[in-house]
């Protein structure tokens, strides 16, 4: 893997990397959610994993794609919305992930963003949808991938790159988890990916990581699950997480996690 360029844009920036046959374009949205979009380009076609949700970012990334003559043939969405982004391009997702984003906890977070930012947010999930099955092997843009069950959302294995995309990692920043069971499950999946020899770990809210940083994520997610069993209120849980990870920012996300974990609904997952 060779880093090729850093391309500053008006709102965000692009970083590109060359793998043997795949070019990786990482769009850092520089938005409220610290969103990251991953474009994988191979043999004149490309796919994007998750899309921007802020209208300014949507237009900016579309302009980059047009300028670079990238032919996007698929959008793989494990969460979020942004239907106005390349609306003619089919969306690939699982029914579980789609329902999570349209009717579940993911939708509640999107609604909070709309309350804060109004028309700046595109909260529409779109209609041009192809449903995938967990465990399914697919090929889009000449890139072979496996869809892996991942709690409310799903992971994507990309063997050709020795890479995995999961919706959430943490790199000196708190991340949203919806219940302790999901945090524990993610830590377990990341451990299995390391054991299987994967070297590149991508996510929708942090730039890609190597194995060493992923081990930090594993410790973080295991700690969330552990600490959730020791506290019964939001403030105490947040204080305990901050004390264990004092250098982490992203208190907004930690607050969402704490509210989810401390609800009666999600404490039930610990029983």
What is the per-residue pLDDT across 59-92, written as a single tens digit (0 to 9) for each? 999 999 999 999 999 999 987 778 999 999 999 9
For residues 216 and 137, state if they share a domain: no
SS3 119: helix
How many whole angstroms separate alpha carbon 11 and alpha carbon 17? 21
Q: What residue numbers bound the domain in which 91 lies?
A: 1-162
Domain boundary among 162, 193, 226: 162
For residues 94 and 140, state if they share a domain: yes
Domain boundary among 162, 186, 212: 162
**Tell me, what's the pLDDT at 4?**
78
What is the per-residue pLDDT across 216-255, written as a single tens digit (0 to 9) for each? 999 999 999 999 999 989 999 999 999 999 999 888 889 9
For residues 67 and 91, state if they share a domain: yes
Question: Between 102 and 76, whose confidence is greater?
Answer: 76
- State the CATH number of the domain containing residue 89: 3.60.15.10
For residues 188 and 243, state if they share a domain: yes
For residues 188 and 262, state if they share a domain: yes
For residues 118 and 178, state if they share a domain: no
Pair 52, 36: CB distance under 8 Å? no
For residues 208 and 89, state if they share a domain: no
Question: Between 92 and 270, whose confidence is greater?
Answer: 92
Burial label for 195, CB within 10 Å (0-12, 13-18, 19+), is: exposed
Domain total of the chain? 2
Mean pLDDT value across the chain: 91
For residues 35 and 153, state if they share a domain: yes
For residues 151 and 55, state if they share a domain: yes
pTM value is 0.90
**Beta partners for residue 74, in sequence order:** 47
Tokens 């299987």 belong to which residue?
Answer: 196
For residues 194 and 265, state if they share a domain: yes
- For the chain, list the strands marked E by DSSP: 2-8, 13-18, 23-28, 36-42, 45-49, 72-76, 91-94, 129-132, 137-140, 143-150, 153-158, 163-165, 200-202
How many whole angstroms separate alpha carbon 269 and alpha carbon 140? 36
Report residue 206's pLDDT band, with 50, 70 and 90 as the boundaries: confident
Report residue 268's pLDDT band, with 50, 70 and 90 as the boundaries: very low
User: Rounded mean pLDDT of 141-168?
Assistant: 94
Report residue 29's pLDDT band, with 50, 70 and 90 as the boundaries: very high
Pair 249, 174: CB distance under 8 Å? yes
Most confident of 47-61, 149-163, 256-270: 47-61
For residues 129 and 186, state if they share a domain: no
Domain boundary among 139, 162, 185: 162
Report residue 266's pLDDT band, with 50, 70 and 90 as the boundaries: very low
For residues 109 and 82, state if they share a domain: yes
């Amino acid at each position: 893997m060779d880093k090729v360029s850093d391309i500053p844009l008006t709102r965000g920036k692009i970083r590109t990397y060359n793998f043997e046959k795949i070019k990786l374009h990482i769009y850092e949205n520089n938005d409220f959610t610290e969103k990251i979009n991953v474009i994988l380009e191979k043999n004149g076609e490309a796919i994007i994993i998750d899309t921007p949700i802020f209208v300014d970012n949507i237009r900016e990334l579309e302009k980059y794609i047009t300028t670079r003559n990238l032919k996007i043939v698929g959008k793989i969405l494990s969460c979020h919305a942004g239907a106005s982004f390349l609306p003619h391009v089919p969306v690939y997702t699982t029914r579980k992930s789609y329902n999570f984003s349209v009717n579940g906890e993911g939708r509640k977070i999107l609604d909070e963003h709309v309350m804060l930012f109004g028309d700046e947010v595109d909260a529409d999930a779109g209609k041009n949808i192809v449903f995938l099955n967990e465990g399914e092997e697919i090929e889009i843009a000449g890139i072979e991938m496996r869809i892996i069950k991942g709690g409310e959302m799903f992971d994507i294995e990309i063997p050709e790159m020795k890479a995995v995309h999961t919706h959430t990692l943490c790199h000196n920043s708190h991340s949203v988890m919806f219940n302790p069971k999901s945090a524990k499950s993610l830590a377990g999946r990341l451990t299995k990916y390391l054991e299987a020899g994967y070297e590149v770990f991508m996510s929708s809210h942090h730039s890609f990581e190597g194995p060493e940083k992923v081990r930090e994520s594993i410790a973080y997610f295991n700690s969330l699950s552990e600490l959730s069993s020791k506290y019964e209120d939001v403030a105490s849980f947040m204080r305990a997480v901050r004390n264990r990870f004092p250098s982490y920012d992203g208190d907004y996300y930690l607050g969402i996690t704490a509210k989810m974990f401390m609800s009666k609904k999600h404490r039930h997952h610990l029983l």
